[in-house]
Amino acid sequence: MSASIAGSLRFVQQRSILVLVALLVALAALIEVIRPGAVNANWVSNILEFAAPLGILAAGQTLVVITGGIDLSVANVATAAAYIMASQAPYGPTRAIVLGLLVGLAVGFVNGLGVALFKVQPLIMTLAMGLVVTGSLNVYGQFARGVPSVPAVVHELGSGTVLGYVPVSLFLWSAIAAALVLGLRGTGFGRLLYALGDNLEATRLAGVHAWQVLLTTYMLCGLFSAVAGIVLAGTVNAADLGLATVLLLPSVAAVVIGGTSIFGGSGSYSGTIVGALILTVLNSVLTLLDVPDPVKQVLYGAIIILLAAAYTRVLGRD
Amino acid sequence: MATATMDRAKARTGFNAARAVRRYGWTFAVYLLFVVLMVVTVIIKPDYGTFEWNTLTLAALPLAFAAAAQTMVVLSGGIDLSVGPLMALANVLALRAMVGHDLRYSLGVAALVLLVVTIAGAVNGLIIVVTRVPDIVVTLATSFIWAGLALLVLAKPTPGIPFDFQDLAQGSAVSPWIPNALLLLLVVPLVWMPLRRSRAGLSIYAVGSDRNAAFRSGVNLAWSRILAYSACGFFAACGGLALSMTTGIGSPLAGTLYTLSGVSAIVLGGVSLAGGRGGMLGPVGAAYILSLIPAVLIYLGIDPNYGQMIQGLLIVIVVMIGGLGAVLRRA
């Protein structure tokens, strides 16, 4: 009897993503109980639309966390990319989007340089770069002429739907997800991320140019953050100086809840996807509960701790 | 065992120059940088007087406490991203309870606020120890909780801190060059020096520098970490009360910025984010540097919006130089 319990526990531990999916379904069921009929195709479409920017933002975060780092500048980069994209919109959407993405690559490059070559701790490097990005953006915001506007093509990307229900951003997110899930599992670069996160010194001694891998990872993270910011600007159809600030905690939480170890070396993007969906549905539950914003904030924080604790304790991961 | 090592270190007399440089070099450089910046400031603004100095000490007071709070946790090998919201919580609690009362009552309130927010800090530590979820995740999540509670206590910025209470920081009882805001900083050494010399303080360093070694030396890891987070809560409460005194208002969002600038101050102040290395002098000095920069920008006629950018760049450069030094030493 106990053997079968231990066996089933191991089964759950090895397939922790099933637990996460079950939690997701349970949350959806909770919404259905609170307000019967609320869970329908429209609701699913909405959830996916709002989960997409978070999921893309958490994609970069997942890569960095797997290497044993963390990027606390993702929200600042997303905001900056979206704002610069919007303020450059009068010069044509192509230039606007390219400039927005360049912001992400540039910040990611500096982050990577600091972490990979100067051996600065990722936390402080990205925190300080976040400060630089936001400070520069405030200065830029004062000098930029004209009202920032979101190009039609970005608006379509962020909030358009195909066949009535399938959000356009889902296609972009799916493409990124496929690339990441397959890339992390099947490519040399993907395996190197795990190796670096597990044991940097051993990986270096094995002949890997660790700094090149880290630099690329942080640049990818910056790029994904910029993409997320642009998609988010399309979703809300506006870009201000605080657009993505609220997404910093969820981007880290989605990664942690998704089962990626914050110490690096293990995890997957498929977990992060479910994590991002859970957080978005959770937000939807809290909105349905019709409680004041501060209470929502308190509950959100508490539930994230509970989820992370459940993960660490029950599934024996950290 | 740990205390035995300390006794031996004390018993060894004679001045070890290399060790002194290693231990105090960075702190010395911080204060040197501050002095240089002050000289530059006086050159830019020849009529720099007591008013400007007083303004600087007022601006630096909450930041210095935020830095002290973060130092406690980082020394124990953790990080607390909820320092700002904790300060906001103390700030709004103080306003709520103090409005329309006299100094004696306000002091009682202040003591109570210190207690409550210290407990909030201890809760941070308790959650981390019990759930074993990494510090950064827990404190990022509790930062939402404390900020939410602060908003529940007070929905929007409200004036009304008693003037007598504000004067505790804004006046200058001794001399115009030694404003009260500078004297209030004495709270930091008053708490820190006995703690540092005690067994508990030493165990905080031990836990931060090598958790395994500390455990095997018989240090109670859980209590040491909870103690560090409680002390962090205490200093954050001081910071929140300092905000009440210097601004005269309660604001649920006032503390938000101090999480980031507190971390900046400790990094600039030479506290290792890896834990176990650093002291209180450096971060407090760095808090003054970081508060002086916006003032200098204003004297220079530069848009203070550049302040955040320059602060960030300063930190990036400092940590890169620090990192480069470490890389070169290893090579």
What pLDDT does A307 receive? 85
Contact predicate A218/A112, CB 8 Å: yes
Mean pLDDT over B112-134 rounds to: 95
Q: Which of B128, B159, B141 has the alpha carbon at shortest distance from B85?
A: B141
The CA distance from A168 to A172, in Å, is 7
Rounded to a whole number, what is the distance in Å from the CA of B111 to chain A's nearest CA?
Answer: 25
pLDDT more than 90, % of chain A: 50
Query: What confidence category does residue A144 fall into, taking pLDDT thresholds of 50, 70 and 90?
Result: confident
Check B315 against A128: CB less than 8 A apart.
Answer: yes
Cα B192 to the chain's mean position, in Å?
Answer: 12
Q: Minimum mean pLDDT among A214-223, A300-309, B281-290: which range?
A: A300-309
The CA distance from B281 to A244, in Å, is 36
Q: How far lies A59's CA from each of A188, A237, A272, B305, in Å?
A: 18, 22, 7, 32
Number of helices and strands (H, E) in chain B?
A: 15, 2
Q: Which of B330, B159, B181, B138 has the alpha carbon at shortest distance from B254?
A: B159
What residues of chain A lie within 8 A of the CB of B290, using their CB? none
Residue A191 above 70 pLDDT?
Answer: yes
Q: What is the mean pLDDT of chain A?
A: 88
What digits encode the pLDDT tens for the residues B7-55?
Answer: 555 445 566 777 777 778 888 989 999 999 999 999 988 888 888 899 9
Contact predicate B279/B188, CB 8 Å: no
Q: How far lies A279's CA from each of A27, A30, A144, A296, B32, in Å?
A: 10, 14, 35, 13, 48
Rounded to a whole number, what is the distance in Å from the CA of A139 to chain B's nearest CA?
Answer: 6
Contact predicate B250/B96, CB 8 Å: yes
What residues of chain A lie within 8 A of the CB of B145, using their CB? 297-298, 301-302
Check B312 against A135: CB less than 8 A apart.
Answer: yes
What residues of chain A lie within 8 A of the CB of B132, using their CB? 309, 312-313, 318
B80, B123, B139, B140: best to mutate for the A interface, most A CBs within 10 A: B140
Q: Which residue of B has its CA nearest to A314?
A: B131
Check B149 against A313: CB less than 8 A apart.
Answer: no
Q: Which residue has the higher pLDDT, A90 or B6?
A: A90
Query: What confidence category does residue A150 fall into, taking pLDDT thresholds of 50, 70 and 90?
Result: confident
What pLDDT does A318 receive? 42
Check A142 against B305: CB less than 8 A apart.
Answer: yes
The CA distance from B71 to B76, in Å, is 9
What digits encode the pLDDT tens for the residues B159-203?
Answer: 989 888 888 888 888 888 889 889 999 999 999 999 999 999 999
Q: Determine the length of chain A.
A: 318
Check B141 against A312: CB less than 8 A apart.
Answer: no
Residue position matching structure tokens 């450096």: B282
Q: Which residue of A has its CA nearest to B321?
A: A118
What pLDDT does B318 receive? 82
Rounded to a whole number, what is the distance in Å from the CA of B269 to chain A's nearest CA?
Answer: 13
What residues of chain A lie within 8 A of the CB of B134, using their CB? 256, 262-263, 318
Rounded to a whole number, what is the distance in Å from the CA of B100 to chain A's nearest CA?
Answer: 26
Cα B308 to the chain's mean position, in Å?
Answer: 18
Mean pLDDT over A249-271 rounds to: 88
Supply the DSSP symbol for B250.
E
pLDDT more than 70, % of chain B: 95
Contact predicate B97/B115, CB 8 Å: no
What pLDDT does A23 receive? 86
**DSSP per position, A67-83:** TT---TTHHHHHHHHHH
Q: Where are the beta strands (DSSP E) in A129-172?
A: 161-162, 166-167
Mean pLDDT over A243-262 rounds to: 87
What digits encode the pLDDT tens for the residues B220-231?
Answer: 999 999 999 999
Check B137 against A134: CB less than 8 A apart.
Answer: no
Check B319 against A294: CB less than 8 A apart.
Answer: no
What residues of chain B lie within 8 A of the CB of A107, using their CB? none
Rounded to a whole number, what is the distance in Å from the CA of B179 to chain A's nearest CA?
Answer: 31
Check B306 against A128: CB less than 8 A apart.
Answer: no
Q: Which residue of B has its CA nearest to A312?
A: B133
The CA distance from A179 to A317, in Å, is 26
Mean pLDDT over A262-288 rounds to: 90
Rounded to a whole number, what is the distance in Å from the CA of B12 to chain A's nearest CA?
Answer: 35
A119, A251, A317: best to mutate for the B interface, most B CBs within 10 A: A119
What residues of chain B lie within 8 A of the CB of A309, using their CB? 127, 131-133
Residue B80 structure tokens: 């607390």
Helix (H) or strand (E) holding B158: strand B158-159
Asked if the C-beta of B137 comes within 8 angstroms of chain A's C-beta atoms, the answer is yes
Question: Interface pTM (ipTM) of the complex?
Answer: 0.83
pTM, two decimals, is 0.86
Cβ-based contacts under 8 A for chains A and B: 152
Mean pLDDT over A170-187 rounds to: 94
What pLDDT does A11 receive? 64
Q: Which of A18, A218, A262 has the alpha carbon at shortest distance from B141?
A: A262
Q: How far lies A210's CA from each of A73, A196, B178, B270, in Å?
A: 22, 7, 52, 27
Instruction: Give the nearest partner residue to A129 out of B138, B141, B312, using CB atoms.
Output: B312
Residue A163 above 60 pLDDT?
Answer: yes
Contact predicate A284/A31, CB 8 Å: yes
Check B131 against A305: CB less than 8 A apart.
Answer: yes
What pLDDT does B1 receive? 44
Check B312 against A128: CB less than 8 A apart.
Answer: yes
Q: Which of A316, A282, A318, A288 has the alpha carbon at shortest distance from A301?
A: A282
Q: Which residue of A has its CA nearest to B313?
A: A132
pLDDT more than 90, % of chain B: 52
Rounded to a whole number, what is the distance in Å from the CA of A117 to chain B's nearest CA?
Answer: 8
Query: What confidence category does residue A262 fall into, taking pLDDT thresholds of 50, 70 and 90?
Result: confident
A237: left (phi over 0), alpha (psi -120 to 50) or beta: left
What residues of chain A lie within 8 A of the CB of B320, using their CB? 114, 118, 120
